[in-house]
Structure 1
Amino acid sequence: MLSALKRVLIGRPLKSTELGEQKLNKTKALAILSSDALSSVAYGPEQILLVLMTVGMAAFWYSIPIGIGVLLLLTALILSYRQIIYAYPQGGGAYVVSKENLGKYPGLIAGASLLVDYILTVAVSVSAGTDAITSAFPSLHAYTVPIAVVFVILLTLLNLRGVTESASVLAYPVYLFVLALFVLIGKGLYDMATGAIPQELHTPVGTPVAGIGLFLLLKAFASGSSALTGVEAISNAIPNFRKPAPVNASRTLAAMGILLAVLFSGIVLMAYEYGIAPIAEATVVSQIAEDAFGRNFMYYAIQGTTALILILAANTGYSAFPMLAVNLAKDKFIPRMFTARGDRLGYSNGIIMLGICSILLIVLFGGHTEQLIPLYAVGVFIPFTLSQSGMMRKWLREKPAGWGIKLAINTVGAAISFVVTMMFFLTKFPQVWPVLVFLPVLIWVLLGINRHYGAVGEQLGLSTGEPVEVIEGNVLILPVAGITHVVEQSLSYARSLAASQIIAVYVPFEREEEAAFRDKWSKLHPDVRLVTLHSPYRSIIQPLMKFIDVVDRKAKENHYQVTVIIPQFIPKKGWHNFLHNQTSFYIRTRLLYQKDVIVTTVPYHLKK
């Protein structure tokens, strides 16, 4: 039943030879890898206005020069990540760049930051999309968290079906969103050209405003830079592109940069022209659409596509998180299971883990996007800064042709990214301080995993020179709870091993029970030694463990191996297990940590 349900939800398994068919062309890659960056124009300009609003609506004209500053940072990042794509075509982005050029610990900071950032990508995107839906339909405000959780589950299932299939589905909403915003910006420009927008709606550019200072402008610039989250996703997912992967990834990155620049600058300009002020009941894009078109078909079309792109922007996380997890797992910083491909050739363990963590985050924050965005943004600007710095060191060390220009680009990108990161910590510390706690904790966990893998490899390697113990015989211990078919089958198996000695062990709670069982056993199996361990405290595990310890110590003195054979009946239906005690399971679990004791389970399958 479960396998049939899995086939319906995820699809038929794909052969490893079909991996090439799962690669992305530029059109689909732009849709799923740029959706995060493109969707951020729905809340990036709003973050600028929220900061300027503390001074007054008269300060809204400053959003224009601040927007230009964000575009300059975008240009530096696009040029820089284009260089990263060609320098590191295997993917990995900021983690690989930082690790190879700055060292293990900067690499781990970048990698851990990105892991958290991609979880936040899903949580922020879905929460923002849900906000767009509830802006159009206020009666749904009370159901924000359940709606967001359902969307995460649907996205997780869609991505488990494979990269190509998810891209085919998600491409249409992304391009519809781009088209809808182009129509919105075009309508705004038309209204500007025809004088349909009253000039009193906004303060003229250059008007002096009391209370404006450099610190406030930098704070607004840092907040607006949240629109650049997701720019690094393409450099992380280069292996998902069709050949030649670096060329296709580079062109996709350029297309994303152009679209993002046009849409971001257009929304900033329209918000200024229409005199839009952020309010809790409606997003900035919603207000612009209502002023431009009224509450008609176009308004709902724009709100619908905005909601879709905000929700589907989470797919950038689903594309980049598994690839980053693969790189970290190959370096033995996270469990190796993240390198395994699922039935549909995607890294399904990473996809599932991302979905679970995102749902937990949405529930924890109650789906409030404004609380998540600062964490989201600071989580991506730390890797931005490290990757730019790593590329600077790479050019200074290697000095390839044209390295001076490349160094200048990365220097500008690193400097601006560092300023933005610091501004987040200085101006939004009450919201971003958790980064200073969970990031070191996460890095400590990653290092602990790495130490474990190192210790395992050291102990399992034949180069250790550890001698293999010679085994001259085998002692079999067979715990029995009665004389049944499962015990008889286990005993038959034990006899087939030609062991030096077979010991059946019975743990009675009453003396009368002990005597009755001894009498019955001696008649049926007089050739097999029976040991009874009376347990006045009604514990089976403790006396059995003590007996195995004693036998194991004596066996080792004579170079004998102790093997415990556990009889276990298997119910026909899985739920029947809840109707029986799990003594055999508990015994097996305890013995797994019993040094040098081999555990064998003999299953007996019930037929009804």
Structure 2
Amino acid sequence: MMAALKRLLIGRPLKSEGLAEEKLGKFKALAILSSDALSSVAYGTEQILLVLMTVGFTALWYSIPISIAVLGLLTILILSYRQTIFAYPTGGGAYIVSKENLGVPVGLLAGGSLLVDYILTVAVSISAGTDAITSAFPQLHDHRVIIAIVMIAFLTIMNLRGLTESASILAYPVYLFVFFMIALILSGIFKFVTTGAPVTPPTSHDVAISGISLYILLRAFSSGCSALTGVEAVSNAIPNFKAPAAKNAAMTLVMMGLVLGSLFMGISFLAYVYGIAPRTEETVVSQIAASTFGRGLMYYAIQASTALILFLAANTAYAAFPLLASMMANDKFMPRMFTVRGDRLGFSNGIIVLGVLSALLVVIFKGDTEGLIPLYALGVFIPFTLSQTGMMRRWFKIKPKGWGISFLINTIGMITTLVICLIFLITKFSQVWMIFLFLPIVIYCFIRIHRHYQDVAAELRIDTKLDLPGTKGNLIVLPVAGVNRVVLNTISYAKSISENIVAVYVAFDDDAAQKMEEKWDEWNPGVRLVTLKSSYRSIIKPLIKFIDTIEWKKSETDYITIMIPQFITSKWWHNLLHNQTSLFIRAYLFNHKNVTISTFPYHLKR
């Protein structure tokens, strides 16, 4: 039943040879890897306005120059990451760049920041998508956490079906959002030019005001930079592109920058000329759409497409998190399970872990987008800064032809993103302080995992010329509960392995011991029976004491194998009707260093 359900949800398994067919072209990759960045159009401008409104409505004038500054930073990042793509065509982005140029600890900081950021990406995007739905249907506001978890489950299943299939399905809502945003911006500009702005609050907001502090402006700028999250995803996921992968990834990155910059500036302009002020119960995009089209069919179409893109923004993380986790696992900084491809050739374990952790985060924060965004933005600007610094050192070290221009671009990018990080730390410290506790813990875990794998490798390593397998004797200890066919078959199998076999029976009283010994002598299977007395009705303790005695007396050339007879019932519920003593024996002996545990199954037919 479970296998049939798995096939229904995920699909039939794909052969390893089909991996090349799972690669993405530019337009599908743009939809999957840019959905995070494009979705920030729905809340980037709003984050700027939320800060400016703390001063007053007149401060909204500054939303335009701040938006232009954000656009300038986007241009720098696009140029910088385009260089990273060609320098490191195997992918990995900030993690690989930092590890190779700045050292392993810095690389782990970049990788850990990105992994945390991808978890936050899913949580923020899904929460923001839920906000868009509850703006149109306020009666659903109390159910936003449940809606968010259902959408995370849906995206997890879609990505488990494989990269190509998920891209084919999820690309439509992304391009639908782009179409409606272009329609909204062009219609809004046309309406403003022909009829003027809608009615706005009486206070003028068309001129700069005096007295606004640099602190407020920097807070607004750093909040607006949340629109730049997801820019790095393309450079991390180069292996997911069709050949030539680096060229296609670079083109996709430029396309994403053009679309994102145009939509972000368009929404910021309309919010300014319409005099939009952020509200708790309604998003900025919702207000612009209502002012432009009224609350008719077009308004609900825009809200639906906005909700979809915010939900699907999480798909960028589903494409990038498993790939980055697999790279770090290959470097032995994460569990090896992240390197395993599932039935549909995706890194299934990474996809599932991402879905579970992001759902947990949504529950903890109760779907509060605003509470997650500062952590989300800082988590991506730390790798931005480290990546640019790593590229600066690379250019200075190898000095290829024309390296000066590349070095200058990365220097400007590093300084700018470092300033953004500092702004976040200064202006939003109360919201991001926990990252100083969480990231060191994550990095410490990476180091301990790596050390464990190194220790295991050192302990298991052999010299192929000196270390050769030897021949040793094998003493088989066979715990028995009586004389039956399970014991008969187990003894037959044990004799095919070794002639040195001893059966052990644990009796709770003298009568039981005498009856067992008489029955065993009558049967005479050619195996010696040792009867142990248990005054406290425990099977485990006498058996362990017997094994320890044998282990102490045995020669150094002997193995000890505990062969446990066990019958397998024909129906699962039959297990509930039987004493599972064999399971307890196996569990107790599992950590015993000097014995080998073997189970002989006997399958019941009815």
**TM class by smaller structure:** over 0.9
* 1:564 paired residue number: 562
Matched, 1:207 2:208: yes
- Structure 1 residues 203 and 542, CA, compared in 2 at 3 Å: closer, same or farther? farther
Q: Give 1:529 deviation, angstroms.
A: 1.7
* 1:462 paired residue number: 462
* 2:502 paired residue number: 503
* 2:546 paired residue number: 547
- Structure 1 residues 244 and 550, CA, compared in 2 at 3 Å: closer, same or farther? same
Please state whether the residue corresponding to 1:344 is helix, strand or coil.
coil
Structure 1: how far apart are the matches of 2:355 and 2:210? 46
* 1:518 paired residue number: 517
Structure 2: how far apart are the matches of 1:114 and 1:251? 23
Structure 2: how far apart are the matches of 1:590 and 1:366? 42
* 1:592 paired residue number: 590
- Structure 1 residues 525 and 144, CA, compared in 2 at 3 Å: closer, same or farther? farther
Q: Give 1:254 deviation, angstroms.
A: 0.2
Matches within 5 A, 1:260-275: 260-275=260-275
* 2:355 paired residue number: 355
Matched, 1:532 2:527: no
Query: Contact (CA 8 Å) 2:563, 2:599: kept in 1 or not?
Result: yes
Matches within 5 A, 1:80-479: 80-198=80-198, 201=201, 203-210=204-211, 212-463=212-463, 470-479=470-479
2:208 alignment partner AA:
T
Please state whether the residue corresponding to 1:507 is helix, strand or coil.
strand
Q: Structure 2, unaligned stretches of length 5 or more?
A: none
Moved more, 292-301 or 419-428: 419-428
Query: Contact (CA 8 Å) 1:471, 1:561: kept in 2 or not?
Result: no
- Structure 1 residues 581 and 279, CA, compared in 2 at 3 Å: closer, same or farther? farther
Structure 2: how far apart are the matches of 1:578 and 1:215? 67
Q: Give 1:470 deviation, angstroms.
A: 4.8
Query: Contact (CA 8 Å) 1:93, 1:232: kept in 2 or not?
Result: yes
Q: Give 1:575 deviation, angstroms.
A: 4.4
Query: Contact (CA 8 Å) 1:160, 1:351: kept in 2 or not?
Result: yes
Root mean square deviation, CA, Å: 1.7
1:544 alignment partner AA:
L
1:605 alignment partner AA:
H
Q: Give 1:247 deviation, angstroms.
A: 0.5
Structure 2: how far apart are the matches of 1:581 and 1:29? 56
Please state whether the residue corresponding to 1:259 is helix, strand or coil.
helix
Deviations 1:338-379 (A, max 9, x none): 111111111111111111111111111111111111111111
Moved more, 126-135 or 566-575: 566-575
Moved more, 539-548 or 461-470: 461-470
Moved more, 487-496 or 133-142: 487-496
* 2:36 paired residue number: 36
Please state whether the residue corresponding to 1:493 is helix, strand or coil.
helix
List, as ranges, runs of 4+ consecutive aligned residues in structure 1 with deviation greater than 6 Å: none
1:369 alignment partner AA:
T
2:561 alignment partner AA:
T
Q: Give 1:543 deviation, angstroms.
A: 2.3
Deviations 1:394-448 (A, max 9, x none): 1111111221111111111111111111222222222212211111111111111
Q: Give 1:238 deviation, angstroms.
A: 0.5
Structure 1: how far apart are the matches of 2:63 and 2:175? 27
Deviations 1:569-591 (A, max 9, x none): 12223344344443322322333
Q: Give 1:145 deviation, angstroms.
A: 1.1
2:410 alignment partner AA:
N
Query: Contact (CA 8 Å) 2:132, 2:303: kept in 1 or not?
Result: yes
Query: Contact (CA 8 Å) 2:198, 2:291: kept in 1 or not?
Result: no
Q: Give 1:467 deviation, angstroms.
A: 5.8
Query: Contact (CA 8 Å) 1:60, 1:203: kept in 2 or not?
Result: no
Please state whether the residue corresponding to 2:555 is helix, strand or coil.
helix
Query: Contact (CA 8 Å) 1:61, 1:203: kept in 2 or not?
Result: no
Structure 2: how far apart are the matches of 1:576 and 1:116? 45
Q: Give 1:481 deviation, angstroms.
A: 2.2
Q: Give 1:138 deviation, angstroms.
A: 0.9
Please state whether the residue corresponding to 1:463 is helix, strand or coil.
coil
Please state whether the residue corresponding to 1:497 is helix, strand or coil.
coil
1:511 alignment partner AA:
D
Q: Give 1:204 deviation, angstroms.
A: 4.1
2:371 alignment partner AA:
Q
Please state whether the residue corresponding to 2:504 is helix, strand or coil.
strand
Structure 2: how far apart are the matches of 1:542 and 1:275? 79
Moved more, 429-438 or 237-246: 429-438
Structure 1: how far apart are the matches of 2:124 and 2:579? 45
Please state whether the residue corresponding to 2:503 is helix, strand or coil.
strand
Moved more, 470-479 or 581-590: 581-590
Query: Contact (CA 8 Å) 1:475, 1:502: kept in 2 or not?
Result: yes
Structure 1: how far apart are the matches of 2:396 and 2:40? 34
Query: Contact (CA 8 Å) 1:71, 1:261: kept in 2 or not?
Result: yes
Moved more, 395-404 or 82-91: 395-404
Structure 2: how far apart are the matches of 1:93 and 1:592? 42
* 2:70 paired residue number: 70
TM-score, normalised with respect to structure 2 = 0.97
2:396 alignment partner AA:
L
Query: Contact (CA 8 Å) 2:62, 2:208: kept in 1 or not?
Result: no
Query: Contact (CA 8 Å) 2:475, 2:498: kept in 1 or not?
Result: no
Report the number of matched residues: 605
- Structure 1 residues 467 and 13, CA, compared in 2 at 3 Å: closer, same or farther? closer
Structure 1: how far apart are the matches of 2:46 and 2:532? 74
Query: Contact (CA 8 Å) 1:59, 1:209: kept in 2 or not?
Result: no
- Structure 1 residues 465 and 18, CA, compared in 2 at 3 Å: closer, same or farther? closer
Structure 2: how far apart are the matches of 1:483 and 1:43? 74
Please state whether the residue corresponding to 1:533 is helix, strand or coil.
strand
Please state whether the residue corresponding to 1:234 is helix, strand or coil.
helix
Q: Structure 1, unaligned stretches of length 5 or more?
A: none
Q: Give 1:318 deviation, angstroms.
A: 0.5
Please state whether the residue corresponding to 2:560 is helix, strand or coil.
strand
Structure 1: how far apart are the matches of 2:575 and 2:398? 63
Structure 2: how far apart are the matches of 1:166 and 1:137? 28
2:596 alignment partner AA:
I
